[in-house]
Structure 1
Amino acid sequence: MAETDETPSPATTPSPSPAYIHPRREPFEHGLLPIPKLIFTDGTQTLGPIKDKLLSLSSESTYRVNPESIAESLQISPDQAQLLLETIACVLHSVSDPLVTAKPSEIGSVGVNVFDLVVFLYIQSYKRLLPKGHKDSAAVADVWPSTSAFDGFLSALSPLQLARSNSRRNMPSQSDEEAHQLSYLQKHLGNILSLLLESVEGDGEESLVLSAEKFEHLDFIFYFGEKGSEKIPLSQNAPFFANSDPNMPAVPVPAAQLHDWLLQNIASTLEHITERASAKENGPMSAPDQDVPMADISASTVKNSSSPRGPNFIEGISKTSYVRKPNDLKGSSVKVVNCHESVLYILAPLTYATVYGCSDATIVLGAVGKAVRVEHCERVHVIAAAKRICIANCRECVFFLGVNQAPLLVGDNHKLQILECPTCLMVFIRLLHTILFILNWRST
């Protein structure tokens, strides 16, 4: 018998899916601070000299600065400098950075790397993607907190008005938000790179280079990956520094070359997002949401979506109870959006959680390792154990919190009640007994 060649032909060999560049959502969703002195609208004209001053005050070996040096350089209060450090610790890309692993009492003494700090400061000028204004904006403004630069895309309507309108279909999608963030980074990429450059001997652009060490700070705002794959740090996917000998420092690369490579990858991702949106629009029309009788609703029939690359979305829950356990969620972040008159139990360990546009609901969040953001909610009870929480543009809400840092209140909030431990602990124990009863009842 003749031997057969078992090597698959090129035509049958599956080609790997291309890896696209993406913006890290965490700095944009949990890292924007309402401190005017942190927002630089003139590019690097002001931020450049501030970086130089920070470097002069930093330790020579680690380039780290403490809150006192930050307050002096940025002309902000010590409390604001401490808040800035705590925020960076919650959105920093490197899990091994001393700031991320530091205890709350150690954050000030550990400090932050100057180059991580200046990248963080630069993106404070980012403005969130907003929808078209409500047709009756005057009436909305009369009864609902006014919008601001720190509002999200639901701010034109109160949660109840949103539930009663069809505007949900016109809200920016997850892809829209990603494209908006990428377009911002595309526009400002040159300025961001200039904050990380080093000068060497040479003529013109050849004298401006970026070392592998400085390039890694771009992991703060970029990563590679696609649906079904793990996130790949930007520095591990760049051909200039990939597979370099760890015992021999990689040769710095001309900044212009890195700039062009990043722009090409960003353009490729934006084109990919446009193609996906076009295919979705030209595909079969999805049926409109149908009203479901309460008796027919269970934890397995609610609107829940997730991907390894993005957060879990829990959306549109109405007039029911809802439980998510660890094996029900993929990834480490969750977004609860547009839920009304319901009780939701998210009983899974998380890194980030966002509650947005909900009303008349009780939402229980299990342990959240880094940050919770509750925004544009009305008459919502939130029970959460987290490292920190940000509350923005909410009204008549009650928070039972076990947090390491003081809650951050942003925007225009009205009639909030914030109860911290031990009151929160007693409420949480009672709720756990209720949850166990519900789970046992469903299992029988």
Structure 2
Amino acid sequence: MSAGPAVSKTTEAAREPPWLHVRREAFEYGLLPLPSLVHSDVLSGLRNLRVKLLQQALPVSAWSLSKSNASYTGSGLGGKKRVATAGIAAALEISESHAHLVLDTLASVLDEAGGAVDCLATVPATEIDSVGADVDDLLILLYIQTYRRVPSRPHRDAADVADAWPSTSAIDGFLPALSPMQARSTSRRSMPGQAEEEVNQLTYVQKHLPNLLSLLAGTTEEEENSGKVITAEQFEHLGILLEAKNNGLESLPFSQAAPFFANSDPDMPAAPVPVSQVLEWVLQHICAASDSLRETPSGKEDKVVKDINLLENGPVENLPSEAADVTMADATSSPVDVTPSSAQTILGPNGVLHLSKDWRPEGMTFVDGVMRASVLKREDDIKGDSVKVSHCHDSVVYILAPLKYVSVLGCSDSIIVLGAVGKALRVEHCERVQVIVPTARITIASCRECVFYLGVNQRPLFTGDNHNLQVAPYNTFYPKLETHLARVGVDATVNRWDRILTLGTVDPHDAFVHPAGSADVQAEGATQLQPEKFVTFAVPRWDEADSEQQLLTRANPFLLPRPYLLAQQHRCKAAESLRQSLRTTMLEDEKKRELISAIRGHFRDWLYGIFHNRLIGSCFCHILIPRAIELGC
């Protein structure tokens, strides 16, 4: 595809370092199902809200300086512009529980890297109210609530399906006649892929950048076109949405990447710059994250991204204060070709993105499409600090590593064991899945018949089309667990697994088609797993010499509530009593052999029934059963 001179010039400029990439975390983990956060006139509404928030801001003496100063590396606490839960609730006219959720969500998406790191990004999840939120950071979070996913693309009619499957899939209800494998394949085609999401987010930021800069500069409607300026401190707040990288693909302090703010510091701040100049510079350097990876610093082509070409049509025009087109339906005008033999081609209103079939976004590890198998990923196997587990079926997935962000999407009939997740975990469109995780925060959206074993510092959030979900206390451990908890800041002394928060209705904008009228249905929460059904999950020890030089975790670091502890002790006593009875029973040798054979036979049948039919799959079962028999089980 050829491009005109203006397009080529813009493309080359965008590829010159520093590169500005959209931070996907703000869009993937920062959207809340609270309609009161979205204004019909976004810019005008947020300008008015700024006034209310500043009225609620507490003076610097009101903040916990001992905690804040220890974790804040920016130019000061900024107490005159910070609000806590009570102030957010009063300004937004929402309940304090919802206001705390807004504050906590902002904490989960703020960037910890770079120069001026806000204290809210680094404070433990249990202490966020002690430092509050910067008003400008909060306004940007509220602005991006206008972002929505791309509506699902048309799917095949059920009549086109060759065979029928008797059971209805909960997450693929719009095609009840499909077998599970066919339904998963179709749902994957109907859902936006990671490459599409990246283009959607890039387009959104480009389109709304004038409004965002105007909001940060504190302009009024009358001042909007009067040559308003923006300071380095104000510009730094765009770091929620954008990150800067040099030609060595190393992160840069966001404001220091801009030539007009470079080498500035709190003692000698750079002079303010006209908003129009800042806008022009950002639009010249913003690009898809994969675009900058076309060549490594050594000049060699990256082994993953082999054919990437981003064409742009020049700067975006300024938007009116109303952001009417907030569904992002215009971000993708053509379906993605995901056939194995061809590259992906994504068309957008500002150009085309060609991606190789092996394209993967930077900083993210994928566990995708695992079928009837067990998978182990440890620290050495993880690239970046984010993991996406998607479309796994009848499998066991172990991700035993310290992580910042994890998303679990479209999995069924599986067990997913995650290491410590320091920022946020999102589980979406899963069915009959057990998720075992210690995390600071978790959101569960549109899942069915799942059980969540949680060690979680903040209230679990349930939203969307959920059905028959259960929560339970965290139920496992592995050798490096406590080390990983400390590394990402998850507190094992705080577990709010049972204090669930249910918000919103079934989302009509998500990637699945729902029955008529489902958009008016309130989201369903979860019930607590009965203590007598609670069991400890044993993580296998693959390497006996693993972490010999480290302090090993030898028990679950999260305390069990008394009913679950008593039920577990009762089960252990019953098993020990049966074991002693078998040992002391006087039987003839032939009868003893028959008893042992019967016990082993029942154990084998139970193991096949649990793992083969429901949870893990035959390949793992064939490994486990001989080993169990070898040990005398």
TM range (shorter): 0.7 to 0.9
Conserved? CA contact 1:357–1:377, under 8 Å? yes
SS of equivalent residue, structure 2 residue 440: strand
Conserved? CA contact 1:337–1:358, under 8 Å? yes
* 1:31 partnered with 2:25: no
Amino acid corresponding to residue 45 of structure 2 in structure 1: T
1:128 maps to 149
2:200 maps to 180
1:276 maps to 308
> Residue 304 and residue 187 in structure 1: after superposition, are their counterparts in 2 closer, same or farther (change >3 A)?
closer
Post-superposition CA distance 1:82-105 (Å, at most 9, x none):
111111111111464222333444
> Residue 163 and residue 435 in structure 1: after superposition, are their counterparts in 2 closer, same or farther (change >3 A)?
farther
Post-superposition CA distance 1:45-87 (Å, at most 9, x none):
2111001111122146431001111111101001000111111
Instruction: Quote the offset at 1:433 in angstroms.
Output: 4.0
Q: Aligned partners of 1:156, 1:32: CA distance in 2, in Å?
A: 25
Q: Aligned partners of 1:401, 1:85: CA distance in 2, in Å?
A: 21
2:96 maps to 78
Q: Aligned partners of 1:156, 1:182: CA distance in 2, in Å?
A: 30
Which runs of 5 or more residues in structure 2 are unaligned? 1-14, 60-77, 295-306, 312-334, 343-356, 479-533, 547-622, 625-633
Segment of structure 1 superposing worse, 388-397 or 225-234: 225-234
> Residue 17 and residue 218 in structure 1: after superposition, are their counterparts in 2 closer, same or farther (change >3 A)?
closer
Conserved? CA contact 1:199–1:208, under 8 Å? yes
Instruction: Quote the offset at 1:163 in angstroms.
Output: 5.1
1:114 maps to 135
Conserved? CA contact 1:305–1:312, under 8 Å? no
2:401 maps to 348
Instruction: Quote the offset at 1:17 in angstroms.
Output: 6.8
> Residue 350 and residue 132 in structure 1: after superposition, are their counterparts in 2 closer, same or farther (change >3 A)?
same
SS of equivalent residue, structure 2 residue 271: coil
* 1:398 partnered with 2:451: yes
1:379 maps to 432
> Residue 156 and residue 39 in structure 1: after superposition, are their counterparts in 2 closer, same or farther (change >3 A)?
farther
1:412 maps to 465
Post-superposition CA distance 1:262-309 (Å, at most 9, x none):
22333x549959972689x9x9x8459xxxxxxxxxxxxxx99866x3
Listed as ranges, the matches of 1:264-413 within 5 Å are 264-266=284-286, 269=288, 272=291, 276=308, 286-287=340-341, 309-413=362-466
SS of equivalent residue, structure 1 residue 402: strand
1:11 maps to none
Amino acid corresponding to residue 234 of structure 1 in structure 2: F
Post-superposition CA distance 1:218-267 (Å, at most 9, x none):
0000112389723334322111101235531110001111112222333x
Segment of structure 1 superposing worse, 256-265 or 21-30: 256-265
SS of equivalent residue, structure 2 residue 441: strand
Q: Aligned partners of 1:134, 1:89: CA distance in 2, in Å?
A: 38
Amino acid corresponding to residue 238 of structure 1 in structure 2: A
Conserved? CA contact 1:356–1:375, under 8 Å? yes
Post-superposition CA distance 1:128-175 (Å, at most 9, x none):
1343033348999x95669xxxxxxx9977993665535645653322
Amino acid corresponding to residue 241 of structure 1 in structure 2: F
SS of equivalent residue, structure 2 residue 185: coil
Conserved? CA contact 1:306–1:330, under 8 Å? no
Conserved? CA contact 1:311–1:334, under 8 Å? yes
Conserved? CA contact 1:57–1:65, under 8 Å? yes
1:8 maps to none
Instruction: Quote the offset at 1:430 in angstroms.
Output: 3.8
> Residue 419 and residue 116 in structure 1: after superposition, are their counterparts in 2 closer, same or farther (change >3 A)?
same
SS of equivalent residue, structure 2 residue 434: strand
Instruction: Quote the offset at 1:195 in angstroms.
Output: 1.3
Q: Aligned partners of 1:348, 1:207: CA distance in 2, in Å?
A: 49
Listed as ranges, the matches of 1:207-218 within 5 Å are 207-218=227-238
> Residue 434 and residue 394 in structure 1: after superposition, are their counterparts in 2 closer, same or farther (change >3 A)?
farther
2:244 maps to 224
Q: Aligned partners of 1:68, 1:209: CA distance in 2, in Å?
A: 32
Amino acid corresponding to residue 108 of structure 2 in structure 1: C
RMSD: 3.9
Q: Aligned partners of 2:173, 2:123: CA distance in 1, in Å?
A: 35
Conserved? CA contact 1:179–1:270, under 8 Å? no
2:274 maps to 254
SS of equivalent residue, structure 2 residue 280: helix
Amino acid corresponding to residue 248 of structure 1 in structure 2: M
Instruction: Quote the offset at 1:192 in angstroms.
Output: 1.1
Structure of greater Rg = 2
Conserved? CA contact 2:393–2:412, under 8 Å? yes
Instruction: Quote the offset at 1:216 in angstroms.
Output: 0.3
Instruction: Quote the offset at 1:310 in angstroms.
Output: 3.0
> Residue 116 and residue 182 in structure 1: after superposition, are their counterparts in 2 closer, same or farther (change >3 A)?
same
SS of equivalent residue, structure 2 residue 367: strand
Q: Aligned partners of 2:231, 2:173: CA distance in 1, in Å?
A: 42
Post-superposition CA distance 1:304-342 (Å, at most 9, x none):
9866x3311111111111101100111111001111111
Number of aligned residue pairs: give it. Answer: 397
Q: Aligned partners of 1:363, 1:393: CA distance in 2, in Å?
A: 17
Amino acid corresponding to residue 379 of structure 1 in structure 2: R
TM-score (norm 2): 0.56
Q: Aligned partners of 1:167, 1:277: CA distance in 2, in Å?
A: 28
> Residue 336 and residue 157 in structure 1: after superposition, are their counterparts in 2 closer, same or farther (change >3 A)?
farther
Amino acid corresponding to residue 52 of structure 1 in structure 2: V
Q: Aligned partners of 1:190, 1:143: CA distance in 2, in Å?
A: 47
2:123 maps to 102
1:58 maps to 57
Segment of structure 1 superposing worse, 52-61 or 62-71: 52-61
TM-score (norm 1): 0.78
Instruction: Quote the offset at 1:413 in angstroms.
Output: 0.3
Select the residue among 67, 88, 91 that pairs with 2:85: 67
Q: Aligned partners of 2:283, 2:388: CA distance in 1, in Å?
A: 30
> Residue 185 and residue 365 in structure 1: after superposition, are their counterparts in 2 closer, same or farther (change >3 A)?
same
- Higher share of residues assigned strand: 1
1:293 maps to none
Select the residue among 172, 180, 185 that pairs with 1:165: 185
1:6 maps to none
Q: Aligned partners of 2:447, 2:476: CA distance in 1, in Å?
A: 20
Select the residue among 72, 87, 90 that pairs with 2:108: 90
2:538 maps to 431
